[in-house]
Amino acid sequence: MISLISPQYELVLSWIGESSAAGAALGCIYYVLASYLVIRFRMRRASVRRDDGDASPPMTVLKPLRGAEPRLLGRLSSFCIQKYDGPIQLVFGTHDCTDPAIEVVKRLQADFPEQSITLKIDPQEHGANRKISNLVNMMPLAKNEILIIADSDIEVGPHYYSSVVRELKRNGVGAVTCLYHGVAEAGLWSRLSALTINSYFLPQVILALSFRLAQPCFGSTIAIRRSTLTSVGGFQAFSDVLADDYAIGEAVRACGQAVVVPPMSVAHVCLDNDFRSMMQQQLRFARTIRSIDPLGYVGSIITHPFPLALIGASSGSTSCLYLAALALGCRVLACVSVERAFRLNWQHYWLIPIQDIISFGAYLGSYMGRTVVWREQRYRVLQDGGLVQE
């Protein structure tokens, strides 16, 4: 029987199958190692030198807001119900005097009359990054030396302040940031977003931290002294940057100080209610990482072992079907490890194959443009990570 497929095409198919199989096999090894490191990371207890001074110094929490997100009041309340002895000032900010988040802050003030809660409404913009513009506007209200910046979708436990401040008080520490785990608000798409964080993002970050392959700084938490922030140019220095949290961390390190990631996590509430919003967020995340570390991002293709195994199988490699099953097993192992390490609720394991394919699609899509959608605004990401509103 004469083959209708040209030798060149067969060679290409063979190369695709072998490359995909090799990538999937490396990915399986990667997730087994990551699972071990996740458990080890959470069990780690950093040796903290206790200072003789005030263990609970005064501090200001800055939270930029936009819109009445679901369960926003509960998340903001978690920053008021804290086991912390020192004075706490909470400053919220928004650009729009008609923003429904204003009513949520007013309810918070009524619920916690003993707390120092202030609100800044200022439409002034200082660059393309509206979050940073919000923070610039809020800063004149901040009274204390220690500042904590946290996104509006973050919810924290009762010992959050004490844990973060304890790390910041260590010698040589210029800033503290926190890992975050995903919590689904409601519906399929928010569950997929939370699963992406818990089974994909967290294992990757912890592995990178363990081997010092990355030096992250997350918007989930940035605790920093006012003097340190001033020395790196204040928030204004990051007004046209997409990855403002990462840039702040880099600036602190450039001053010779460390950015610490303690062995804890805060909750990132996933609010996606449709496929479009979920993909916009994943593309923004992917293109942000690509702008920060383009070479490392290329290598991160092995973190998609299940889709790679499927590609290998489609090119005619039957062994890749077994490899696909192994890849799913390794992905579930990583997810279970995160659950155990961070004491999370049971995840929807049956969604892992779907989540893997979506994440792989976002990975490929990140190379097909530089536009991101952030808070319903469209931006173009420049080569240097800068941000231009379209």
- Calpha distance 287→364 (Å, rounded): 10
Contact residues for 198 (Cβ-Cβ < 8 A; gap 6+): 181, 182, 335, 338, 339, 344, 347
Residue 186 lies in a domain: yes
Which of 246, 276, 306 terminates a domain? The answer is 276
- Do 296 and 337 reside in the same domain of the chain? yes
Structure tokens at 6: 């040209």
270 plus 294 within the same structural domain: no
Cβ-based burial of 65 (10 A; exposed 0-12, middle 13-18, buried ≥19) = buried
Which pLDDT belongs to residue 198? 94
- Confidence (pLDDT) at 69: 86
Q: Does any domain span residue 283?
A: no
Say if residue 207 is in the same domain as residue 338: no
Residue 21 lies in a domain: yes
- Same-domain status, 156 and 295: no
Distance CA(134)–CA(142), nearest Å, equals: 13
Do residues 263 and 295 both lie within one domain? no
* 125 and 257 co-located in one domain: yes
Which of 276, 298, 327 is a domain's end point?
276
Instruction: Evaluate whether residue 5 is within a structural domain.
Output: no
Run means of pLDDT, 10 residues per run, the chain, 390 residues:
55 75 94 94 56 72 91 95 94 94 96 95 91 95 96 94 93 95 90 94 93 90 96 94 92 95 92 90 89 88 95 80 94 94 89 95 91 79 72
Q: Say yes or no: 184 and 117 in one domain.
A: yes
Which of 230, 248, 276 delimits the end of a domain?
Answer: 276
In a domain, 118, yes or no: yes
Tell me what pLDDT residue 19 has.
86
Looking at the fold, whether 232 and 325 belong to one and the same domain comes out as no
240 and 318 part of one domain: no
Question: Domain holding 108: CATH number?
Answer: 3.90.550.10
CA–CA distance, 240 with 385 (Å, rounded to integer): 9
Position 389 in a domain: no
User: First-to-last CA distance in the chain?
Assistant: 58
Identify which of 309, 342, 354, 317 has the alpha carbon closest to the alpha carbon of residue 28: 309
In whole angstroms, what is the distance from residue 259 CA to residue 252 CA? Answer: 7
Same domain flag for 342 and 193: no
Residue span of the structural domain in which 24 resides = 14-43+290-382
Q: Assess if residue 51 is contained within a domain.
A: no
Total domains in the chain come to 2
Radius of gyration of the chain (CA): 22
Interior angle at CA 258, CA 256 and CA 260, nearest 5: 175
Asked if 220 and 308 sit in the same domain, the reply is no
Residue 6 lies in a domain: no
Q: Are residues 252 and 118 in the same domain?
A: yes
SS (H, E, C) the chain: CCCCCCHHHHHHHHHHHHHHHHHHHHHHHHHHHHHHHHHHHHHCCCCCCCCCCCCCCCEEEEEECCCCCCCHHHHHHCCCCCCCCCCEEEEEEECCCCCCHHHHHHHHHHHCCCCEEEEEECCCCCCCCHHHHHHHHHHHHCCCCEEEECCCCEECCCCHHHHHHHHHCCCCEEEEECEEEEEECCHHHHHHHHHHHHHHHHHHHHHHHHCCCCCCCCCCCEEEEHHHHHHCCCHHHHCCECCHHHHHHHHHHHCCCEEECCCCEEEEEECCCCHHHHHHHHHHHHHHHHHHCHHHHHHHHHHCHHHHHHHHHHCCCCHHHHHHHHHHHHHHHHHHHHHHHHCCCCCCHHHHHHHHHHHHHHHHHCCCCCEEEECCEEEEECCCCEEEEC
